[in-house]
Amino acid sequence: QVQLQESGPGLVKPSETLSLTCTVSGGSISSYYWSWIRQSPGKGLEWIGYIYYSGSTDYNPSLRGRVTISIDTAKSQFSLKLNSVTAADTAVYYCARVKITSHQINWFDPWGQGALVTVSS
Partner 1 sequence: DVQMTQSPSSLSASVGDRVTITCRASQTIATSLNWYQQIPGKAPKLLIYATSTLQSGVPSRFSGSGSGTDFTLTITNLQPEDFATYYCQQSYTTPTFGGGTTVEIK
Of 16 and 46, which CB lies nearer to partner 1 in the complex structure? Answer: 46
**Least separation, in Å, of the C-beta of 13 and partner 1?**
27
Of 6 and 89, which CB lies nearer to partner 1 in the complex structure? Answer: 6
**Least separation, in Å, of the C-beta of 7 and partner 1?**
15
Contacts to partner 1 by CB under 8 A:
44-47, 60-62, 94, 96, 99, 104-114
Question: In this structure, what are the phi and psi dihedrals at residue 33, rounded to the nearest 5 degrees?
Answer: -100, 145
d(CA 54, CA 63): 22
Within 10 angstroms of residue 41's Cβ, the number of other Cβ atoms is 8
**Least separation, in Å, of the C-beta of 30 and partner 1?**
22
